């Protein structure tokens, strides 16, 4: 118990907690082919991207799959902020190969693309038709997720975020069937990522644990995971950005990302993500970078309702706890902003391409995002517009 922790009767309700089977630790990649075979796949479609395809991890995975007697095919047409059109191309590749499952090797964009392919392979239609909660009614083919970054949580989450390039916005697809069957989390993969990617992914994970901890759908399990995640991130993110070869920091960041993913997929998220998704689609900017800019402003906005919870998080990472809970929440917001800037995040949304004239459209889209449903403070459009304005 942290100094400010207190018993909350509302957290004693019965909750459902969903996770995939998890293989965690250095060398976990060596077990991926066994996990794929155990799910009954014979002809997996391996989804990755051009950057991962030239790493030793990709060739090792394909070799291991073939050694197990499987017949893999590859699909590499995945962009950051994956497009709906890429999901459609992946579905075509899935059909041509007569695939019976998917293996995703990469960051959140790759894993979300694999999830999108699984949705339309099982349910038909176009991926954008599944925006919202539990729209995919038929069971999905098996998915094994192998994250190459420590941050997105896509390897354990029920979320799939796809960019609608025509409308320049991101679509949030949510459902328990979107949780991968197996997550293979090998910190060695994380330690070879570029520093900029480590920073973006880490700030995304930090946002996950903060938002999960104050979500209206939180519970005791998600609270514990969120606090443990934040502590690990706080003490290891900057170190890994500065020295990606630090194996211990990579392991701690991978564990923190895993905990944050399990927390937010069960507690859901809040206004930071609801506001980040429209910006990511509109400006095609990195999701973790947008979160890093928005999170401190959203903490201050939400502190009107849940300052005590933010003060508890501040205590957990050793921030000075003197003063009122609101002042400690402000201190947490300031420290998170400072951490973001130390690892290379911008101070505002302006360098990402957001302009004052964009705020009406972004606010409208943020208010319609599923993540807004569990924000602890009831959002109003005028106030959300104001938060965006503060972040410019």
Residues 258 and 119 in one domain: no
What are the residues whose beta carbons fall under 8 Å from the beta carbon of 156, sequence distance 6 or more?
19, 20, 22, 145, 179, 180, 183, 258, 261, 262, 265
- The crossing angle, in degrees rounded to 10, of helices 247-267 and 220-242 is 150
CB 329 within 8 A of CB 311: yes
Position 4 in a domain: no
Residues 120 and 208 in one domain: no
Position 190 in a domain: no
SS3 317: coil
What are the residues whose beta carbons fall under 8 Å from the beta carbon of 83, sequence distance 6 or more?
162, 163, 165
Name the burial class of residue 247, with classes exposed (0-12), middle (13-18) and buried (19+) by CB atoms within 10 angstroms of its CB: middle
φ, ψ for residue 166, nearest 5 deg: -70, -40
Position 2 in a domain: no
Residues 88 and 225 in one domain: no
Residues 180 and 222 in one domain: no
Indicate the DSSP class of residue 161: E
Residues 78 and 155 in one domain: yes
Write the CATH number for 146.
3.40.50.1970
Tokens representing residue 327 in the block: 């002042």
CB 275 within 8 A of CB 298: yes
Residues 35 and 151 in one domain: yes
Position 3 in a domain: no
- The crossing angle, in degrees rounded to 10, of helices 287-316 and 271-283 is 160
Residues 127 and 61 in one domain: yes
Residues 272 and 233 in one domain: yes
First to last CA, the chain: 37
Task: Identify the pLDDT of residue 240.
Answer: 97
Write the CATH number for 270.
1.20.1090.10
Which residue, of 150, 185, 220, is where some domain finishes? Answer: 185
Residues 72 and 168 in one domain: yes
Looking at the DSSP bridge assignments, the partners of residue 21 are 182
Looking at the DSSP bridge assignments, the partners of residue 172 are 161
Report the Cα 100 to chain-centroid distance in Å.
26
SS3 183: strand
Residues 72 and 38 in one domain: yes
Position 21 in a domain: no
Position 20 in a domain: no
Residues 207 and 156 in one domain: no
Which residue, of 129, 160, 185, is where some domain finishes? Answer: 185
Which residue, of 185, 205, 237, is where some domain finishes? Answer: 185
Position 228 in a domain: yes
Position 22 in a domain: no
Number of H-type helices and E-type strands within the chain? 13, 9
Instruction: Return per-residue pLDDT of the chain as tens, 392 residues.
Output: 344 555 565 666 777 788 999 999 999 999 999 999 999 999 999 999 999 999 999 999 999 999 999 999 999 999 999 999 999 999 999 999 999 999 999 999 999 999 999 999 999 999 999 999 999 989 999 999 999 999 999 999 999 999 998 898 899 999 999 999 999 999 999 988 899 999 999 999 999 999 999 999 999 999 999 999 999 999 999 999 999 999 999 999 999 999 999 999 999 999 999 999 999 999 999 999 999 999 999 999 999 999 999 999 999 999 876 789 999 999 999 999 999 999 999 999 999 999 999 999 999 999 999 999 999 999 999 999 999 999 99
Domain that holds residue 295: 9-15+195-391
Cα(35)–Cα(52) distance, rounded to whole angstroms? Answer: 20
Indicate the DSSP class of residue 83: B
**What count of residues does the chain have?**
392
Residues 55 and 165 in one domain: yes
Q: Please count the structural domains in the chain.
A: 2
Which helix (H) or strand (E) segment holds residue 75: the answer is strand 73-75
């Amino acid at each position: 118990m942290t100094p400010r922790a207190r018993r909350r009767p509302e957290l004693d309700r019965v909750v459902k907690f969903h996770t995939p089977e998890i293989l965690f630790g250095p060398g976990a990649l060596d077990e991926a082919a066994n996990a794929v075979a155990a799910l009954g796949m014979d002809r997996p479609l391996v989804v990755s991207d051009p950057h991962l395809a030239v790493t030793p991890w990709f060739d090792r995975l394909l070799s291991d799959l073939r050694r197990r007697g499987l017949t893999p095919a590859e699909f590499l047409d995945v962009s950051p902020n994956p497009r709906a059109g890429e999901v459609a191309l992946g579905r075509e590749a899935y059909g041509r190969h007569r695939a019976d499952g998917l293996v995703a090797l990469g960051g959140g964009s790759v894993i979300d693309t694999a999830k999108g392919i699984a949705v339309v392979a099982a349910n038909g239609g176009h991926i954008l038709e599944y925006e919202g909660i539990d729209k995919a009614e038929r069971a999905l083919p098996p998915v094994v997720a192998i994250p190459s970054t420590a941050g997105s949580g896509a390897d354990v989450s029920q979320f799939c975020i796809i960019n609608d390039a025509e409308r320049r916005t991101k679509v949030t697809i949510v459902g328990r069937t979107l949780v991968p069957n197996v997550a293979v989390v090998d910190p060695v993969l994380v330690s070879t990522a570029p520093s900029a990617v480590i920073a973006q992914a880490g700030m995304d994970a930090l946002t996950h644990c903060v938002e999960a901890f104050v979500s209206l759908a939180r519970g005791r399990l998600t609270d514990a995971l969120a606090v443990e995640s934040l502590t690990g991130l706080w003490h290891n993110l900057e170190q890994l950005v500065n020295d990606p070869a630090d194996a211990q920091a990579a392991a701690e960041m991978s564990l923190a990302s895993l905990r944050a993913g399990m927390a937010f997929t069960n507690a859901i998220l809040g206004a930071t993500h609801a506001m980040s998704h429209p910006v990511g689609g509109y400006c095609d900017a990195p999701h973790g970078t947008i979160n890093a800019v928005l999170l401190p402003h959203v903490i201050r906005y939400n502190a009107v309702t849940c300052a005590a919870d933010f003060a508890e998080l501040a205590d957990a990472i050793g921030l000075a706890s003197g003063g009122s809970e609101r002042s400690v929440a402000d201190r947490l917001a300031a420290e998170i902003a400072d951490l973001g800037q130390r690892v290379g995040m911008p101070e505002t949304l302006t360098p990402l391409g957001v302009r004052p004239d964009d705020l009406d459209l972004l606010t409208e889209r943020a208010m319609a995002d599923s993540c807004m449903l569990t924000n602890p403070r009831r959002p109003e459009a005028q106030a959300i517009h104001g938060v965006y304005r503060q972040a410019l």
